[in-house]
Amino acid sequence: MKRIRKAVRGFKTQIVLSFIIVSIIPLIGIGIWTYKNTSGIVNDNVKTFTYANLTQTSKTAAVSIEAYHALLYQIFTDENIVALTDKINSGQDLAVSKNQLRRALRGYASAKPDIQSITILTASGEAVFYDMITAATTKNSWLDGFRLSQREIFQQISGTAGTVMYSTQYATTQGNNDYYLFHMANRIIDYKKVKKRNGVVIVSIDERMLNDICNEDTVRMEDGRYQTMNFIADGEGRICSFDDPARCGTKLWGKKDTQDEKVRKAKQFLEAEGYMSGEHLAVQAYYDEKLDFTFVNASNQAATLSQLRQQRTIICLIVILSGAALVIIIHFTVAHLTGSIYRVVATMKNVEEGGLAQRIPDEKRMPTEIELIARQFNHMLSKVEESMDKEREAVVRQKNAEIAALEAQINPHFLYNILDTINWMAIDKDEYEISNTINSLAQILRYGLDKSNSMVEIRREVEWLRQYIFLQQTRLKNTFECQINAEPGILGCRIHKLLFQPFVENAILHGFEGVNRTHILKISIDGDEDRIRIRIQDNGKGMPQEKADRLAAGETAEDQERTHIGVSNAIGRLKMYYEEEAQAEIKSCPGEGTEITLWIPRME
């Protein structure tokens, strides 16, 4: 114990000296260094924060716009919308069709809070709309005053493959409120006749949606000027969202201007229009290539820098006072700390000599750190005792697991024996078709249950597949024909068991459903020096190519059919085994059939 006391006293002396050297002296140096470098650091931090804020604002705007794009997609692919547009173009029940189309647009318009109008322009020149601003059926709030004519709008949108964005423009005044709208548009798509140009859909969105995103943290001073603000300009350099919406449409810069030129011209605009001024005005811009928007932040940093200087002075005073106070309390703190350390070390020594029953006394006066060490040490001793008990229990559980494993091995054999008994019963009754079916089923079960994740030669997989096809043909009363062709040179290669069975099963059980013609299933296996190609073709009902592409990518949408989930899982298993070396291609056409091609690495 004397050695322990001596060691603790030496530790106490070292701690006091270390506190003085490590804490007080660096504390003074840090205060001086902070005083000289705060301005530069703050400037860099403000720029970083501003850029991060602009980036986040861009992401938020992109998410919001994408939500409206998703709604636009629902509209221009809506089969009811397509059918009603075709009727209007043909002049069939014109008044009724326009009313039905207007009711459909009203349902979509209420889906998002900032939608002010949804307009459909038909190829025949008709304009059908639901307008939230005017609530009128004959007068559109924005179309008459738009910078393009109705015909020009139709031609531009219908001639574009993707979505067209029209920048913010004044629309109308209603109830002493000025409305500024930007527009998202797409041509109506009839997937039965993709190239048909029967109409376009235009969703008009209130500019305040973008302004709310940009100017959540806008600060305006008492003199009407801004402390900080954000705004958005489109790809042509025109303002499309501003806290003062009357500025929407103002051209700030050219399309070919650099980022520095954009910042300079934005600063000139804000100063010239009286929104902001001063030598501490900072402007930063971020260009979002996907949206083709430039997000601009402007802030007057004079007040911020003044506050930071005050904070810096306070910090220096705190450093000085803290250093003085630290010298006073070090002695008392260290004395209390070393006393607790002595008690902990003494108990540990007793544990080393006396066994696991020893524990460090729980004293509330201990420093938090030492109390935590004591609790963790006591907890460790308890865990050691528990682990010894668990080790004894583990031996018993291992024996039980071995017994359970033996029982699990017995069950498949029991199943095979029962099937064999039923087989001989069928033979005794001269039921040879039943006997053949039972034999095929027994072989399929034996093949599938024996090391289900192992690799086998393609020869064995093909043999198993023939048995499986035989059972399916028997079950379905030979309602389909199957052709299996495998190159002889491929048969010796090895693949994972039951790799393409889910694709075959899906074709048999679901591909032929509702098809009134001779059902034909073709399976071919060939390849080259590096890869093996497995092709599964059916002349069943097929599916849209878009859905086939999602299946090939391994995607499973929430509304997807349950049968396709099995295909997606099988593709996932393919990727898990062979990673990027495996490929899956699905070609399909509704009413004609489906062709699935799997590429896997060749393994001898």
- Answer for the pair 551, 598: CB distance below 8 angstroms, yes or no: no
Q: What is the amino acid identity at position 413?
A: H
Tokens representing 155 are 């031609």
* CA contacts within 13 A on the Cβ side of 68: 29
Q: At a CB cut-off of 8 Å and minimum separation 6, what does 176 contact? A: none
Find tokens 């006072």 and name the residue.
321
Task: Give me the average pLDDT of each 10-residue run along the chain (604 residues).
Answer: 62 67 70 68 78 90 92 93 92 90 92 92 93 85 90 93 91 90 93 88 93 82 82 92 90 91 91 81 90 90 71 74 71 65 68 66 68 75 71 54 41 58 73 76 69 80 89 86 93 88 87 88 93 94 90 64 67 84 92 93 90
d(CA 511, CA 507): 4
Q: At a CB cut-off of 8 Å and minimum separation 6, what does 164 contact? A: 156, 157, 184, 185, 186
Residue 519: per-residue pLDDT: 92
Residue 602: per-residue pLDDT: 92
d(CA 140, CA 156): 20
Residue 51: per-residue pLDDT: 87
CA angle 102, 175, 207 (to 5 degrees): 70
Q: At a CB cut-off of 8 Å and minimum separation 6, what does 243 contact? A: 211, 215, 218, 226, 229, 231
Q: What is the amino acid identity at position 217?
A: D
Residue 301: per-residue pLDDT: 74
> What is the 3-state composition of the chain as percent helix, strand, coil, each rounded to the nearest 5?
55, 20, 25
Q: Give the phi and the psi of residue 267 in degrees, each rounded to 5.
A: -65, -45
Distances (CA, A) of 287 to 232, 263, 346, 514, 537: 10, 11, 66, 53, 48
Residue 187: per-residue pLDDT: 94
d(CA 537, CA 596): 6
Residue 409: per-residue pLDDT: 44
Q: To 10 degrees, the CA torsion angle through 446, 450, 454, 456? A: -40
Tokens representing 66 are 């994408």
- The DSSP secondary structure of 522-584, one letter per residue, reads EEEEEE-SSEEEEEEEE-S----HHHHHHHHTT---TTS-HHHHHHHHHHHHHHHHHGGG-EE
